Amino acid sequence: MTGKLDLDPALVARARELARRAGQPVVDLARSHTTVSVERAVLRLAGVSGADPDGIPWVNRLVDAVVADVGLGHGVALPVFDALVREQITDVTLLAQKAAAGSVRFEVPSGKAATAARKAARRSVGAGVRLIDRRRAERERLVKRWGDPARRPWIYLIVATGDIYEDIPQAQAAARAGADVIAVIRSTGQSLLDYVPEGATREGFAGTYATQENFRLMRAALDETSRELGRYVRLTNYASGLCMPEMATLAGLERLDMMLNDSMYGILFRDINPVRTFVDQRFSRQVHARAGIIINTGEDNYLTTADAVDEAHTVTVSQLLNEFFAHEAGLADWQLGLGHAFEINPEVPESFRLELAHALLARELFPDAPLKWMPPTKHMTGDVFRGNLLDGFFNLVGAMTGQGILLVGMMTEAVVTPWLSDRDIALQNVRYVLGAAGGLHEDFVPAPGGFIQQRANRVLGEALELLERIGEQSLLTAIAEGTFGIMKRPADRGKGLAGVARHEADYFNPATEILEGEAA
Amino acid sequence: MTAVEAGAVAPGGADGAAKKIVRPYGDTTGDGMVQVSFTLPVPHDKRAEGAAVQLANRMGIDPAMLVHAKPIGEGFTFFVVYGRVNHLVDLAAVQVVERDFPLLSAKEVNAVVKQRLRRKLSVVGACIGTDAHTVGIDAILNVKGIAGEKGLEYYRELKVTNLGAQVSVPELVEAARVEKADAVLVSQVVTQRDAHLHNTREMSAAFREAMPAGKRPLLIVGGPRFDESMTGELGVDRIFGRGTTPGEVASYLVHALITNKKATA
């Protein structure tokens, strides 16, 4: 479906080139730095699991011990696997326990000791990566056995009770009611925890903690429901916040299918340090690429703080940047759930045509990506009747522009967390629109030179202008100056900066080595 | 439950004092018609429909017309009921927090601050606790504002510091000290397990502890689910609910801090 908007291919190519130019310095930065969370993810791949009696994960205790002795800049793999040899133990978790008790000293080995440590680290981390490979193969087998949803877009529903044992029956009920993708919303505030909690959890605020055990429990429950329905139901969680690399790793190990993973969301909306975010993001996306996970980017969020008409082009710019970073990390087009949203004020004249223009622009710019279409939130007022109508129009835009993933809008958005009946009414709305107009994208071709074509071309033009401006000053400066979503985020501020280090000359990370070897 | 537009004066008491009795309005004065929807945890059958009617009756809807019943999920049924409600409302007995200060334009606010305070009025705002929803505080503070009305940053005589989301209470107190805040605005959207109430109490207690009376900034909280009459209980000076505009907040600041300044309790 190319050519509905008469976009100039030269301009589109120029936009991609500018996104590459803006993004490349950030990639270089990511390649020359590491973070505590990247190193903890390496240890998780090497099999370190569990937590101390206070609930602090052993990976945190081990990384902290290594950093205290030799700093972060060498990576933890060399010191840890060197210490294993010296302590004559094979279990890395046991080493973490000893290190936490203060009975192990870490050093950076050289010569033969370094070679031996590198070899042992590669073997151990390689086993973790192979586990992710097996999970991916398992998904492919199950999708083949149970089948994909019969049509696009996939219907994406959220559960958010705070209690994994409440989430499970709700998720299963949602799947039976027609959901193709279940997202378990995380507890508010988890993004700012610098560790991943352990075990099954029943206490969360406005969501449920993301833990390896919660991932496992929910995936197992949805497997059961998928078998019953004859349709593979996908599971989504969040690789965002301070623990992106570890979340990505755990998702790969527990066969999650989609992860929210945005290049700038943490910086803009959680005030996480920009360097920390970009380093963590690159590693997490490399893991997603390997695990066959579809990422969901967060462009919808810009429109909740900035005006959806005036700032429409910032969504396009962010999508282009997200695409560049994703490709660079090894993700394929089918894994790019680039986000955008129906957030134009319904009082604006021709708001529906503007929405169509923006949604179609995204579709045409990224023809092979399963775009993620997000429902209205900002202009949902508590008038649930009007809200249901808005959601209907939102669903219609999704059908008319061939969106890949449709997050089901709730008429009670901004009123209550969805009730059972709210969800049923919302799904009824989706089913009606997709049933009545699901193939409309085949017939819908905007008039040449008409309102929609003009609007789309104008947004693309504004996106190019912004990218040209960013190109002159670097992406980090643009973020510092508040180009995206109004918020200003300087590179030397924000949470998590203390956990970032520049690579030393002998920096070694067996996970990156394996993941990049495969991607090349 | 959908409250239908307030109807007219009840027949009997019209000529008396200011006593106004209203009942819901469907399409005829005094018909008392309302519409409600709800879910019962029972599978859809005759008995379920009877249960729905009985519930509506208990809610004061009589006769109740069950217009829609639909099974949802396993073992649940969703109902829509229309009917006549037999309750009356005495408008004279309704208690609300009315606006007790004059509404000023941005220009008037600036003029009062400039002439009477003779320095900029310092405002510090934040979402505290784990709440990451900056929609409310941004609508009040950002230049962008809400519904065409500019936020407090737009007011020349106000100095606004917006700390953003997930600010800890100690951070907020410290920022208020550094900025010599005349007023602190806190937004709370997340209400699960009454987080908005706990956070607000924690915040007001921290200010009471950190600063002596008279040195404390005016404490204001806002959010869609607050009860505006709970100021005493939460230890704050003012609560703003759903639909508050920046202009109302600015007018209140001028009223409380300048034109109607009383000795701080």
Can you give the pLDDT of all 520 residues of chain A as single tens digits? 358 999 999 999 999 999 999 999 999 999 999 999 999 999 999 999 999 999 999 999 999 999 999 999 999 999 999 999 999 998 999 999 999 999 999 999 999 999 999 999 999 999 999 999 999 999 999 999 999 998 899 999 998 888 999 999 999 999 999 999 999 999 877 888 999 999 999 988 778 999 999 999 999 999 999 999 999 999 999 999 999 999 999 999 999 999 999 988 888 877 899 999 999 999 999 999 999 999 999 988 877 767 889 989 999 999 999 999 999 999 999 999 999 999 999 999 999 999 999 999 999 999 999 999 999 988 888 899 999 999 999 999 999 999 999 999 999 876 777 888 999 999 999 999 999 999 999 999 999 999 999 999 999 999 999 999 998 888 998 888 877 766 678 899 888 999 999 999 999 999 999 999 854 4
A309 in any annotated domain: yes
- In angstroms, the first-to-last Cα distance of chain A is 30
Start and end residues for every CATH 3.30.30.60 domain found in chain B: 12-93
Contact A206 B190 (CB under 8 A): yes
* Strand pairing report for A181-184 and A154-159: parallel
Q: Examine the residue annotation and report whether A300 is marked as an active-site residue of this protein.
A: yes
Residues of B in contact with A206 (CB under 8 A): 190, 192
A235 in any annotated domain: no
Measure in Å the smallest separation between the Cα of A186 and chain B Cα atoms: 12
Q: Check: CB of residue A401 under 8 Å from CB of residue A35.
A: no
Which of the four pLDDT bands, split at 50, 70 and 90, describes residue B262?
Answer: low
Residue B147: what pLDDT?
64
Residue B19: what pLDDT?
67
Side-chain half-sphere of A145: how many Cα atoms within 13 Å? Answer: 11
The three-state secondary structure class of B61 is strand
Domains identified in chain A, total number: 2
Of B72, B144, B165, the CB nearest to A421: B72
Residue of B138, B209, B216, B142 whose CA lies nearest to B176: B216
Measure in Å the smallest separation between the Cα of A206 and chain B Cα atoms: 6
Of B70, B135, B190, the CB nearest to A205: B190
Domain boundary among A74, A107, A126: A126
Residue of A359, A320, A262 whose CA lies nearest to A11: A320
Residues A156, A209, A265, A507: which is the catalytic one? Answer: A265
The answer, for A209 touching chain B at a CB cutoff of 8 Å, is no
Residue A270: what pLDDT?
78
pLDDT in tens, B87-139: 999 999 988 878 889 999 999 999 999 999 999 999 999 988 766 677 778 77
Start and end residues for every CATH 3.40.50.280 domain found in chain B: 106-259
Please name the residue of chain A whose CA is at the shortest distance from the CA of residue B79: A421
φ, ψ of residue A102 in degrees (nearest 5): 85, 15
What would the two tokens of residue B146 be? 């809400």
Residues of B in contact with A177 (CB under 8 A): 72-73
Q: Check: CB of residue A397 under 8 Å from CB of residue A352.
A: yes
The answer, for A20 touching chain B at a CB cutoff of 8 Å, is no
Residues of A in contact with B241 (CB under 8 A): none
Rg (CA), chain A: 23
**CATH number for the domain including A385?**
3.20.20.440
Cα–Cα distance between B249 and B222 in angstroms, integer? 10
What would the two tokens of residue A111 be? 């010569």
Residue A114: what pLDDT?
96
Q: What share of chain A is helix, strand, coil (3-state, %, to 5)?
A: 55, 10, 35
Contact B134 A421 (CB under 8 A): no
Please name the residue of chain B whose CA is at the shortest distance from the CA of residue A171: B73
Residues A372, A391, A495, A507: which is the catalytic one? Answer: A372
A259 in any annotated domain: yes
Residues A180, A257, A262, A300: which is the catalytic one? Answer: A300
CATH topology of domain B106-259: Rossmann fold (3.40.50)
Residues of B in contact with A178 (CB under 8 A): none
Q: Check: CB of residue A290 under 8 Å from CB of residue A129.
A: yes
C-alpha distance from residue A447 to each of A52, A402, A438, A444, A458 (Å): 64, 18, 21, 9, 16
Mutate which of A421, A428, A486 to test chain B, going by most B C-beta atoms within 10 A? A421
A420 in any annotated domain: yes
Q: Examine the residue annotation and report whether B144 is marked as an active-site residue of this protein.
A: yes
Mutate which of A424, A427, A428, A493 to test chain B, going by most B C-beta atoms within 10 A? A424
Domain boundary among A406, A433, A454: A454
A195 in any annotated domain: no
More confidently predicted of B213 and A321: A321
Counting Cβ atoms within 10 Å, is residue A4 exposed (0-12), middle (13-18) or buried (19+)? buried
Cα–Cα distance between B218 and A129 in angstroms, integer? 56
Cα–Cα distance between A36 and A290 in angstroms, integer? 21
C-alpha distance from residue A136 to each of A47, A256, A441 (Å): 18, 9, 32
Give the dihedral sign, CA B60/A414/A251/A499. negative
Tell me the pTM: 0.84
Contact A271 B165 (CB under 8 A): yes
Residues of B in contact with A382 (CB under 8 A): 242
The answer, for A309 touching chain B at a CB cutoff of 8 Å, is no
Cα–Cα distance between A322 and A462 in angstroms, integer? 18
Contact B134 A305 (CB under 8 A): yes
The answer, for A417 touching chain B at a CB cutoff of 8 Å, is yes
Q: Does the bond joining A169 to the residue before it have cis omega, within 30 degrees of 0?
A: no
Residue B1: what pLDDT?
44
Contact A270 B190 (CB under 8 A): no
Please name the residue of chain B whose CA is at the shortest distance from the CA of residue A347: B147
Which of the four pLDDT bands, split at 50, 70 and 90, describes residue B142?
Answer: confident
Q: Check: CB of residue A265 under 8 Å from CB of residue A242.
A: no
Please name the residue of chain B whose CA is at the shortest distance from the CA of residue A193: B130
Residues B20, B46, B120, B144: which is the catalytic one? Answer: B144
CA dihedral A395, A399, A405, A410 (to 10 degrees): 10
Taking phi over 0 as left and psi of -120 to 50 as alpha, with beta for the rest, A372 belongs to beta
Q: Check: CB of residue B185 under 8 Å from CB of residue B255.
A: no
Residue B85: what pLDDT?
97
Residues of B in contact with A173 (CB under 8 A): 73-74
* Number of neighbouring beta carbons within 10 Å of residue A462: 17
The answer, for A347 touching chain B at a CB cutoff of 8 Å, is no
Residues of A in contact with B142 (CB under 8 A): 486
Q: Could you tell me the residue range of the domain that residue A292 belongs to?
A: 248-454
* Number of neighbouring beta carbons within 10 Å of residue A287: 30
A161 in any annotated domain: no
What would the two tokens of residue A141 be? 């087998």
Residues of B in contact with A489 (CB under 8 A): none
Residues of A in contact with B135 (CB under 8 A): 304-305, 378
Residue A264's contacts (CB-CB under 8 Å, 6 or more residues apart) are A277, A298, A318, A321, A479, A484
The three-state secondary structure class of A500 is strand
Please name the residue of chain A whose CA is at the shortest distance from the CA of residue B191: A206
Contact B130 A487 (CB under 8 A): no
Residue B167: what pLDDT?
86
The three-state secondary structure class of A503 is coil
Cα–Cα distance between A269 and B134 in angstroms, integer? 9
Measure in Å the smallest separation between the Cα of B117 and chain A Cα atoms: 31
Please name the residue of chain B whose CA is at the shortest distance from the CA of residue A161: B192
A227 in any annotated domain: no
Residue A446's contacts (CB-CB under 8 Å, 6 or more residues apart) are A4, A5, A356, A357, A360, A452, A453
Please name the residue of chain B whose CA is at the shortest distance from the CA of residue A310: B144
Beta strands in A255-296 (DSSP E): 258-260, 294-296
Contact A424 B78 (CB under 8 A): yes
The H-or-E segment that residue B159 falls in is strand B158-162
CA dihedral A192, A195, A199, A204 (to 10 degrees): -10
Residue A155's contacts (CB-CB under 8 Å, 6 or more residues apart) are A149, A178, A179, A180, A181, A406, A408, A427, A430
Tell me if the domain spanning B12-93 has CATH number 3.30.30.60: yes
Of B72, B129, B131, the CB nearest to A420: B72
Q: Which residue type occupies B132?
A: A
Domain boundary among A67, A101, A126: A126
